[in-house]
């Protein structure tokens, strides 16, 4: 009787942001190598923020999930942010264009590092002297014992990008229904919004913007322009209607 062949190993990815300008692929390989075999890295400038952004590809997608626990790890005296990701064709092409940015040696047939417990991975990272957030070990233990609830998983995996929820859920099987994940992500978005609005710098910038708006009447000017445009459009449409009516009457 023939044995059923094992399903092919799927690759996984994480997006790493808040990188120091001089952060190197080698540093990221050394860090994320604890989670599993790193099969490629691409570092580029984020078009939205101008900061360094990295897409890290793992031979085994299980390593990508574990890697999210390393968010807040200190790289060049700066805490990085790691979240689960699904690479598009362009991402994968960019990673392939940098063949040296990967773990040493050939990819294993089975990546045992990616299949070890999250607790073991975090313990190895901490033993190496890498600084992580205080609660990361507790979250790793809770994940392995099944005591990490879905909201906490969303927090660890960084699932606040609602547009990517369905794709991430399909790739990594975080939950059975996309709707549940979407609700949780929406909660995280609201929490993020609340955190940002509570930030002193944000409030100062908002106050300054309101002062400038009040001083120069930007909003009022824009509103007046809109009303004028709307009025002009209405008058023009009435003229067109009247002209069409005249032509119809002539016939």
81-97 residue pLDDT tens: 999 999 999 999 999 99
Residue 183 domain-assigned? no
| Tally of structural domains, the chain | 2
Sign of the torsion formed by the C-alpha atoms of 116, 58, 74 and 162: negative
Instruction: Give the integer Cα–Cα distance in Å for 193 and 132.
Output: 25
Do 242 and 131 sit in the same domain of this protein? no
Do 138 and 218 sit in the same domain of this protein? no
Instruction: Give the integer Cα–Cα distance in Å for 30 and 16.
Output: 14
Structure tokens at 19: 């990188």
Residue 189 domain-assigned? no
Please report which confidence band the pLDDT of residue 150 belongs to, taking 50, 70 and 90 as the band edges: confident
Q: Does the structure show a pLDDT above 90 at 190?
A: no
What residues make up the domain containing 212?
Answer: 201-250
DSSP character at residue 68: G
Do 106 and 219 sit in the same domain of this protein? no
Residue 177 domain-assigned? no
Residue 3 domain-assigned? no
Do 113 and 33 sit in the same domain of this protein? yes
Residue 178 domain-assigned? no
Do 20 and 141 sit in the same domain of this protein? yes
Q: Mind listing the pLDDT tens digit for each residue in 107-140?
A: 999 999 999 999 999 999 999 999 999 899 999 9
pLDDT recorded at residue 51:
87
Do 24 and 119 sit in the same domain of this protein? yes
Do 41 and 140 sit in the same domain of this protein? yes
* Contact in structure between 58 and 114 (CB atoms under 8 Å): yes
* Contact in structure between 132 and 66 (CB atoms under 8 Å): no
Structure tokens at 111: 């990546």
> Which of 127, 148, 169 finishes a domain?
148
CB neighbour class for 240 (10 Å; exposed up to 12, middle 13-18, buried from 19): exposed
Do 208 and 137 sit in the same domain of this protein? no
Q: Residue 158 in 3-state DSSP?
A: coil
| CATH code of 137's domain | 3.30.70.330
pLDDT recorded at residue 96:
95
Instruction: Give the integer Cα–Cα distance in Å for 4 and 22.
Output: 48
Residue 175 domain-assigned? no
Q: What are the backbone angles phi and psi of residue 140, rounded to the nearest 5°?
A: -65, -45
> Which of 130, 148, 166 finishes a domain?
148
Do 140 and 216 sit in the same domain of this protein? no
Do 61 and 137 sit in the same domain of this protein? yes
Please report which confidence band the pLDDT of residue 198 belongs to, taking 50, 70 and 90 as the band edges: confident
């Amino acid at each position: 009787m023939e044995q059923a062949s094992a399903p092919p190993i799927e690759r996984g990815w994480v997006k790493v942001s808040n990188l120091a300008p001089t952060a190197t692929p080698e540093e990221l390989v050394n860090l994320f190598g604890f989670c599993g075999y790193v099969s490629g890295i691409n570092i580029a400038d984020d078009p939205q923020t101008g900061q360094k952004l990295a897409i890290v590809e793992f031979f085994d997608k299980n390593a990508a999930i574990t890697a999210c626990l390393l968010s807040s790890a200190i790289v060049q005296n700066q805490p990085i942010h790691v979240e689960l990701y699904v690479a598009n064709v362009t991402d994968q092409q960019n990673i392939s264009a940098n063949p040296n940015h990967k773990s040493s040696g050939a990819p294993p047939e089975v990546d045992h590092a990616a299949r070890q417990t999250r607790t073991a991975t975090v313990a190895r990272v901490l033993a190496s002297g890498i600084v992580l957030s205080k609660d990361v070990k507790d979250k790793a233990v809770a994940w392995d014992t099944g005591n990490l609830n879905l909201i906490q998983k969303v927090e660890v995996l960084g699932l606040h990008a609602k547009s990517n929820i369905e794709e991430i859920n399909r790739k990594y099987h975080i939950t059975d229904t996309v709707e549940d994940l979407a609700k949780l992500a929406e909660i995280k978005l609201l929490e993020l919004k609340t955190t940002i609005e509570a930030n002193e710098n944000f409030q100062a910038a908002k106050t300054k913007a309101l002062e400038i708006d009040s001083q120069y009447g930007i909003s009022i000017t824009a509103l007046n322009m809109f009303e004028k445009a709307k009025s002009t459009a209405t008058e023009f449409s009435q003229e067109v209607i009247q002209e069409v009516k005249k032509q119809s009457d002539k016939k």
